[in-house]
Amino acid sequence: MALDPVVLFFALGLAAGLLRSDLKISSGLYETLSIYLLIAIGFKGGVELAAASPGSLVLPIIAVILMGAGTPLVAYPILRQLGRLSRPDSASIAAHYGSVSVVTFAVGVSYLARLDVEYEGYMSVFLVLLEMPALAIGVLLAKGIGRDTRWGVLAHEVLAGKAVVLLVGSLLIGWYAGAEGLASLDKFYMELFKGMLSLFLLGMGLITAARLADVRKSGLFLIAFGILMPVVSAMGGVAVGYALGLTLGGTTLLAVLYASASYIAAPAAMRIAIPEANPALSIGASLGVTFPFNVFVGIPLYYWMAGMVYGLGG
């Protein structure tokens, strides 16, 4: 099926960046759009959460977090042994891949909406919960349980960071307001969602284009890692989603979450917690390779993978 136009705006941004066009998304607009996306995702999740019974979520939450913590533990030895990267670099990249990307999730939501595939609305709860654990594991991999780690600073950086504050906050607001509260806001947060996402992706294209120089320098191994690691993680996501009895759409989104690599919360947190790690490597891989791969190829692929499993399972 044809590409989602939203995705084509990402391609446009990439092309503009590579052509050295004077197109620029100001950092103020970029901030505004990311705030909008975080609120829209959290709010929608909260509204859906109000309809679900919280007790039924306990087991899925535990399973999803435990499996999410597995990603950096799988990625680290690969980076260290096969990639021969230094310990801090391996740990920082592993943390990026264990944490999740809100925008990749948003593109996944947009993909499913276009196909009219339903999914569990509380998936955005997982989005919040998967952000932090991998970052902590990354720091542990880099430093062990040492005294010189500023855990307080790191925890504050992540938990008080805008992503968690806005997602949790709007999740609670949506949960409190329920479907009735949604009525007054759904034009802004639901109907305009794809338009806003297309603007944001245009900016992401520009940012990604500027990172491609780093990708070229980082070598073949990291490029291969940036493509294969998400596919492996997505397989884990499909398995967990299927085992938990999620819908086809929910399982696809879980696979997208596991496959995505963070480039908002993780870079800032890792810069402070693992200063020795070279950010050009981790950001080059997560933003320069994995994000475009997921947007163009990964998301349809994970949907197909989930479909195969659900087809086989009857």
Partner 1 sequence: MANFRVKLVTVICEADLEKMLVGEMLKAGARGHTVTEARGGGRRGVRDALWGATSNVRIEVLCTEAVAAKILDTIESRYFHDYGIVMFMSDVEVRRADKF
Which tokens sit at 241?
A: 């989603």
> Pick from 12, 15, 18, 30: which binds partner 1 (CB under 8 A)?
30
Asked if 98 is part of the footprint of partner 1 (rule: CB under 8 A), the reply reads no
In the complex with partner 1, the residue whose CB is nearer, 25 or 47, is 25
Give me the phi and psi of 280, to 5 degrees please.
-60, -35
Which tokens sit at 140?
A: 């542990």
Piece of 114-122, 171-179, 251-259, 278-286 that binds partner 1 (CB under 8 A) = 278-286
- In the bound complex, what is the minimum distance in angstroms from residue 296's beta carbon to partner 1? 21
Which tokens sit at 188?
A: 């802004």
Distance (Å, whole) CA 50 – CA 160: 24
Asked if 271 is part of the footprint of partner 1 (rule: CB under 8 A), the reply reads yes
Q: Which of 59, 68, 61, 55 is nearest to 94 (CA)?
A: 68
Asked if 207 is part of the footprint of partner 1 (rule: CB under 8 A), the reply reads yes
3-state secondary structure of 263: coil
In the complex with partner 1, the residue whose CB is nearer, 251 or 290, is 290
Asked if 276 is part of the footprint of partner 1 (rule: CB under 8 A), the reply reads yes
Whether the Cβ atoms of residue 24 and residue 148 lie closer than 8 Å to each other: no
Asked if 275 is part of the footprint of partner 1 (rule: CB under 8 A), the reply reads yes
Q: HSE, CB side, 13 Å, CA atoms: give it for residue 120.
A: 24
Asked if 214 is part of the footprint of partner 1 (rule: CB under 8 A), the reply reads yes
Q: Which of 106, 123, 102, 107 is nearest to 49 (CA)?
A: 123
Asked if 263 is part of the footprint of partner 1 (rule: CB under 8 A), the reply reads yes
In the complex with partner 1, the residue whose CB is nearer, 210 or 297, is 210
> Pick from 72, 267, 288, 298: which binds partner 1 (CB under 8 A)?
267
Number of other residues whose CB lies within 10 A of the CB of residue 271: 15
Task: Provide the binding-site residues for partner 1, judged by CB under 8 A.
Answer: 24-25, 27, 30, 153, 203, 206-207, 210, 213-214, 263-264, 267-268, 271-272, 275-276, 279-280, 283
